[in-house]
């Protein structure tokens, strides 16, 4: 039986980034159920960095990740992963409230028309978030995996955890193919499967719920769109951004509860996306070039979960990254590593309180609710 200090379940951005932070100190194995890492949520994102997204606590992780994404250490990558395009939060009336730390400015109607030609008259103004950028997700995920391997980390693809149990201070991990592995620490970075993996390891689930989000690549009868900003509405019912000269990536901002699965776009959600898009601009819709969907997984309070389980001190949660798992990955991985290795936090995350993201906040709360209910 192979022995490891740490086995990470899941080779998406969460597992890969945490792996790259610990592999130099722990003998680490990533087990990934699919044939390649990044098949699920990580490979299906809208690929943007938007600091205001996810509220003030998540914004701290995003902000702390920005310098790394802009200019990573030379040994990690020889180029940055961001391309700035800005985001316009459109409104018909009130401007949205964003976390105070985020740089923004108001754009009135005349300027809005220059940003988005043919925008319909009811969109009166917008809040511009100039720092919004595209993320080269494949390059970032690839760089995390490369750095992980360089430090001695190993990866087993097509290797699905079936169950794990504690025997004499170690985890015995059984894979679906009958292989057994041993490790001191087990990391749950299984994305939409986070609760199922916890249950398979005899650990209490934390109500991490996968929700489907749809993306559409749309060709329209309008050119010059490549550098169009990300455009969303203050009520959170759509977003789109320029992709090619006449193509856009569009989402109806859907959030449909789903079992963990290989998610696919449904026709009704594609139609809803186009309908909402047509309420913004009068550009003729020519065709749907492709559509896809992925699962964004949320804890009940919509904050990510990093830390050892309350009921099992060698089971480490790295889950619930919702719609911000890519843009927060550098800082979140550093925070996760300092908790897992019991080390001082890296200077870039020193001001972030990790207890906000602890799994214990969820178990304490459900206990409190149960007590409240009983009383």
Ligand X SMILES: Cc1cc2nc3c(=O)[nH]c(=O)nc-3n(C[C@H](O)[C@H](O)[C@H](O)COP(=O)(O)OP(=O)(O)OC[C@H]3O[C@@H](n4cnc5c(N)ncnc54)[C@H](O)[C@@H]3O)c2cc1C
β-strand partners of 69: none
| Plot region of 26 (φ>0 → left; ψ -120 to 50 → alpha; else → beta) | beta
Question: Which DSSP category does 173 fall into?
Answer: E
Under the binding rule (CB under 6 A), the answer on residue 321 touching ligand X is: yes
**Interior CA angle at 238 toward 235 and 243, to 5°?**
145
Q: Using CB under 6 A, pick the residue from 15, 19, 210, 229 that binds ligand X.
A: 15
What's the min distance (Å) between Cβ of 66 and ligand X? 12
What's the min distance (Å) between Cβ of 304 and ligand X? 8
- Maximum alpha-carbon separation in the chain: 69
Look at the chain and count its residues: 375
What's the min distance (Å) between Cβ of 12 and ligand X? 2
What's the min distance (Å) between Cβ of 215 and ligand X? 5
Is there a contact between 112 and 119 (Cβ–Cβ < 8 Å)? Answer: yes
Q: Using CB under 6 A, pick the residue from 8, 14, 133, 270 that binds ligand X.
A: 14
Under the binding rule (CB under 6 A), the answer on residue 9 touching ligand X is: yes
What's the min distance (Å) between Cβ of 344 and ligand X? 25
| Plot region of 231 (φ>0 → left; ψ -120 to 50 → alpha; else → beta) | beta
Closest by CA to 234, choosing from 94, 54, 52, is 94
Q: Which is nearer to ligand X, 6 or 45 (CB)?
A: 45
What's the min distance (Å) between Cβ of 306 and ligand X? 11
> What does DSSP say about strands 285-298 and 256-257: parallel, antiparallel, or unpaired?
unpaired
Pick the piece of the chain touching ligand X (CB under 6 A) from 104-112, 269-277, 317-325, 333-341: 317-325
Pick the piece of the chain touching ligand X (CB under 6 A) from 69-77, 106-114, 122-130, 325-333: 325-333
Under the binding rule (CB under 6 A), the answer on residue 160 touching ligand X is: yes
Closest by CA to 297, choosing from 269, 270, 259, is 259
Under the binding rule (CB under 6 A), the answer on residue 48 touching ligand X is: yes
Q: Which is nearer to ligand X, 64 or 125 (CB)?
A: 64
What's the min distance (Å) between Cβ of 134 and ligand X? 9
Q: Report the SS3 class of residue 42.
A: helix
First to last CA, the chain: 50
Q: Using CB under 6 A, pick the residue from 4, 6, 44, 225 that binds ligand X.
A: 44
Name the token pair of 132. Answer: 């919004």
Pick the piece of the chain touching ligand X (CB under 6 A) from 30-38, 70-78, 79-87, 341-349: 30-38
Pick the piece of the chain touching ligand X (CB under 6 A) from 12-20, 68-76, 231-239, 275-283: 12-20
Residues numbered 199 to 228 that lie near ligand X (CB under 6 A) are 213, 215
Under the binding rule (CB under 6 A), the answer on residue 12 touching ligand X is: yes
Question: Which DSSP category does 281 fall into?
Answer: B
Q: Which is nearer to ligand X, 91 or 157 (CB)?
A: 157
Under the binding rule (CB under 6 A), the answer on residue 42 touching ligand X is: yes
Burial 64-75 (b: 16+ CB within 10 A, else e): bbbebbeebeee
Beta strands in the chain (DSSP E): 2-9, 28-31, 48-49, 82-84, 87-91, 105-107, 125-129, 133-135, 154-156, 161-167, 170-175, 180-188, 209-220, 230-233, 239-242, 247-251, 256-257, 285-298, 305-308, 315-319
Q: Which is nearer to ligand X, 126 or 135 (CB)?
A: 135
Q: Using CB under 6 A, pick the residue from 4, 306, 324, 357 that binds ligand X.
A: 324
What's the min distance (Å) between Cβ of 111 and ligand X? 25
**Which H or E element spans position 166?**
strand 161-167
Q: Which is nearer to ligand X, 283 or 325 (CB)?
A: 325
Under the rule (CB under 6 A), what is the footprint of ligand X? Answer: 9-15, 31-34, 39-42, 44-48, 160-161, 189-193, 197, 213, 215, 294-296, 321-327
């Amino acid at each position: 039986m192979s022995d490891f200090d740490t086995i990470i379940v899941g080779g998406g951005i969460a597992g890969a980034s945490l792996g790259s932070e610990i592999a130099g100190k722990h003998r680490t194995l990533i087990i990934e159920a699919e044939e390649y890492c990044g098949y699920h949520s990580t490979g299906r994102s809208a690929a943007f960095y938007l600091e205001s997204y996810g509220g003030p606590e998540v914004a701290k992780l995003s902000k702390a990740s920005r310098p790394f994404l802009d200019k990573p250490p030379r040994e990690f990558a020889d180029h940055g992963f961001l391309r700035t395009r800005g985001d316009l939060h459109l409104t018909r009336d009130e401007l949205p409230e964003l976390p105070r730390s985020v740089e923004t400015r108001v754009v009135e109607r005349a300027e809005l028309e220059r940003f988005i030609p043919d925008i319909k008259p009811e969109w009166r103004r917008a809040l511009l978030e100039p720092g919004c950028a595209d993320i080269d997700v494949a390059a970032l995920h690839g760089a995390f995996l490369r750095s992980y391997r360089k430090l001695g980390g190993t990866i087993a693809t097509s290797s699905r955890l079936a169950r794990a149990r504690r025997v004499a201070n170690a985890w015995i991990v059984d894979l679906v193919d009958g292989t057994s592995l041993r490790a001191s620490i087990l990391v749950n970075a299984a994305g939409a499967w986070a609760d199922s993996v916890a249950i398979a390891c005899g650990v209490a689930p934390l109500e991490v719920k996968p929700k489907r989000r749809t993306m559409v690549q749309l060709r329209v009868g309008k050119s010059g769109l490549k550098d169009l900003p990300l455009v969303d509405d203050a009520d959170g019912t759509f977003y789109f951004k320029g992709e090619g000269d006449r193509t856009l990536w569009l989402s109806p901002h859907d959030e449909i509860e789903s079992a963990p699965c290989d998610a696919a776009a449904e026709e009704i959600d594609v139609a809803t996306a186009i309908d909402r898009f047509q309420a913004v601009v009068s550009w003729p819709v020519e065709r749907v070039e492709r559509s896809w969907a992925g699962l964004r997984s949320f804890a009940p309070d919509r904050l990510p979960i990093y830390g050892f389980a309350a009921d099992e001190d060698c089971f480490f949660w790295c889950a619930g990254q919702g719609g911000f798992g890519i843009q927060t990955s550098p800082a979140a991985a550093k925070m996760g590593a300092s908790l897992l290795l019991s080390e001082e936090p890296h200077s870039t995350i020193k001001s972030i309180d990790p207890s906000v993201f602890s799994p214990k906040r969820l178990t304490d709360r459900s206990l409190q609710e149960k007590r409240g209910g009983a009383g």
